Structure 1
């Protein structure tokens, strides 16, 4: 029965039962972590062969000695693999060091200090800077814009992308809005996949700022939870046809494909944007880690090698998402106090609870030894105005711990909802 249909006496009885179970679990001394989307040791082991690559004596790639300086754009062999995965030409992709987050930070920092190829002046000299942030979204994105002093403007994110009516209205009338974060495939944390109509509108919309940029974070482009891989739209071509060839800055990495702490990142964009980026990185660096890039090229072989590798990841990750869904359903089904969408890829589940109870749910879970990402982290400045969203990350713990942790989460959601209803 829905919680809202319970009588006062039944609600009090349910709350008492939940408290008894809460106290019993508190005595067990749980210590479980669902805070961040990390690969499990089992997933990392899938790439163990990388530690022996490229191997002694294997250091030449396309006439380049990878042990030496240079090659700022990265190895063509590896770039061609990820160009195919991203659906772009190889000359529109560069390979860098570990973490696409570093590329994204550089992109905005360079724009702040020097402006973009389409800017009239450095962004730091603008009277005001604003940035669109689809919500719920990725907290590390928001950390970059906040650190650089760029005002963040939330826009709602639905199952097929952001509210484009609102996006188009904002960018058409406000030249201080310089860009937008987007995770177009298996969005963090909702699992949303932008549909073709949304992509087309983002590429073709008129903006008051001539140097408007979309940072297109394709972090989960091959992270399927099914046997199928998503279609990847060629956003650069669509935008160029509309007269905005420099709009998109697409990034991805191998961080959740091979070793999260020792991967390769990629930037795909127009030639003008890539030349601009490499012009600045060429000053701060004499080239990326090409030995690691060659190791990855040898490890994957080709784009199908990446896809095959990711299907092995799926075998490890998908059962955890299924277990999370089953545990939450057992605890919360029928009460009408929570909702969540099971994604077809990515690393997260976005749990929506009764308004005003997300923070309390996280606090209760912590008392039971289950660490969750702070409520509000999926919003700019950590401020979820409805205190409704909780990001769950089931990939790191073993399956049995996922089941236990999600059961605790469900208990805490229901207990917090009872308190709010009382």
Structure 2
């Protein structure tokens, strides 16, 4: 089919009639499908049911060092869990703290601590006139929600297929002491599925921030969430790179098992330098006696080691890979050549990012909702929910059953076409009006004689 931008007004009007008829058919189906969050599906959750059998009432609840996991203590997590998560994160077990079920909670806690007590002896952020934060966009809405909650001014940094615009990052952090951090999802980023290349990671490690308490919040949420055995993205390990660059304290690296086992009942971890760990533990000891060691032990017994975890993730990939491929196939079949949208094709993670024509994303999401498919709100992938181009939409393929996903993907592309045609017709109508105005003869004003 001819690209929509090349169509005449009459061709677009004819196309619109057909699209509206097709859209009415979807509305008549009365679907109720929620694709707004990147949740594992039932089949994925079933993979981890063995966790429920890993510890029974007769199980040995002791660690190798004699720790009784049923009791108080062990602030930073049991050693076996540190080894398992450090292998997953590619870090030394001595540089890791094991937390509860949510890495997002650890990020929130880290910023809250920085606001009230500062970072390694620096002025608490709450006592400063201004605190700023860099936000690669499009990005993770819950990250932006944390910094917005604490009243931190967020600055958009464009994402590229190799990572954030590092020229902009380097310039801003070097010039402005008020910039205290940056959000990063470095591998299979949310929502585009991009992974930082070697140069980007090295440039991060060699940043020269004006603020001594500047920290990179490195959320490696999808570190082992590959879709393919062969086409896997590789990421340089940031803590080792920072140490080599003489900036050992500049990174907080987060991860969890939320999309590995049960999202509500996993374990989270923070890896960072010894200096940072000492600073964090000094606060933690007033906050908790220790996190859920029984759950930590349960995960260790279930996986055995990192090899067991990798095999487990292959099973996840077998379930969700066909879903990503279905979406990509439907998008290509229905939209290729029309010039009204582009989308990413990630090798891992949980999302596909779609770019509409400028000014169309909100309307596309609204049309999908009215036909029974709920997507992530347009604008959610930007700070303050404000997408300056109104063009980005996050697609979450993992949760719906395959048959429902096919229907939803076809509906989505229909809505993209419908909204795009309306947008183009609107612009052509505007052009017609300007043309008519230009062709109007100038009015001759005759001044009456008094």
TM-score, normalised with respect to structure 1: 0.98
The residue correspondences of 1:65-80 to structure 2 (distance < 5 A) are 65-80=68-83
- Give the alignment partner of residue 125 of structure 2, picking from 123, 126, 136: 123
| Correspondence list, 1:3-22, <5 A | 3-22=4-23
Q: Would the aligned equivalents of 2:197 and 2:235 in 1 still touch at CA under 8 Å?
A: no
Q: Match of 1:190?
A: 192
2:35 counterpart residue number:
34
Distance 1:321 1:66 in 2: 40
CA distance in 2, matches of 1:76, 1:156: 40
Q: Of 312, 334, 345, which residue of structure 1 is paired with 2:348?
A: 345
Is 1:376 the counterpart of 2:354? The answer is no
Partner of 2:291: 288
Question: SS of the residue aligned with 1:181?
Answer: strand
CA offsets 1:161-185 (integer angstroms, 9 cap, x no match): 0000011111110000000000000
Post-superposition shift, 1:315? 0.4
Where does the alignment leave 5 or more consecutive residues of structure 2 unmatched? 426-450
Match of 2:175 in 1: 173
Deviations 1:186-233 (A, max 9, x none): 000000100110000011011111111000000000000111454342
Looking at structure 1, the residues matched to 164 and 194 of structure 2 have their Cα atoms a distance apart, in angstroms, of 9
- Matches of 1:276 and 1:234 in 2, distance apart? 22
Of 257, 275, 297, 2:260 maps to: 257
SS in structure 2 of the partner of residue 65 of structure 1: coil
Show CA shifts across 1:68-124 (max 9, x none).
01111111112112212222111011211101001000110001110111x531111
Structure 1 residue 240, shift from structure 2 partner: 2.2
Q: Which residue of 2 aligns with 1:225?
A: 227
Q: Distance in 2 between matches of 1:16 and 1:234?
A: 54
Partner residue of 1:388 out of 376, 387, 391:
391
2:412 to 389, 409, 414: 409
Residue 233 of structure 2 contacts residue 347 of structure 2 at CA under 8 Å; is this kept in 1?
A: no
Which residue of 1 is the match for residue 368 of structure 2? 365
Q: Report the counterpart of residue 147 of structure 2 in structure 1.
A: 145
CA distance in 1, matches of 2:10, 2:210: 58
Aligned pair count reads: 421
Segment drifting more, 226-235 vs 311-320: 226-235
Partner SS for 2:50: helix
User: 3-state DSSP class of the match of 1:48?
Assistant: coil
**Structure 1 contact 50–296 (Cα < 8 Å) conserved:** yes
For the residue of structure 1 that corresponds to 2:181, the secondary structure is strand
Superposed CA RMSD in Å reads: 0.9
Matches of 1:418 and 1:46, distance apart in 2: 44
For the Cα contact (< 8 Å) 1:214–1:249, is it kept in 2? yes
- Alpha-carbon shift at residue 53 of structure 1 (Å): 2.1
Q: Which stretches in structure 1 are left out of the alignment for 5+ residues?
A: none
Q: Which residue of 1 is the match for residue 240 of structure 2?
A: 237
Partner of 1:49: 50
The residue aligned with 1:100 is: 103
Q: Secondary structure at the match of 1:64?
A: coil
Q: What is the CA deviation profile of residues 15-41 of structure 1, one whole-angstrom value per residue up to 9, with x for unaligned ones?
A: 100000011111111111110000000
* Residue aligned with 1:194, SS: coil
User: Given that residues 69 and 287 in structure 1 are in contact (C-alpha distance below 8 angstroms), is that contact kept between their aligned partners in structure 2?
Assistant: yes
**Deviant stretches of 4+, over 6 Å:** none
Partner of residue 203, structure 2: 201
CA contact (8 A) 1:254 1:264 kept: yes
Post-superposition offset of 1:396: 0.4
Alpha-carbon contact 1:182-1:215 (below 8 Å) kept: yes
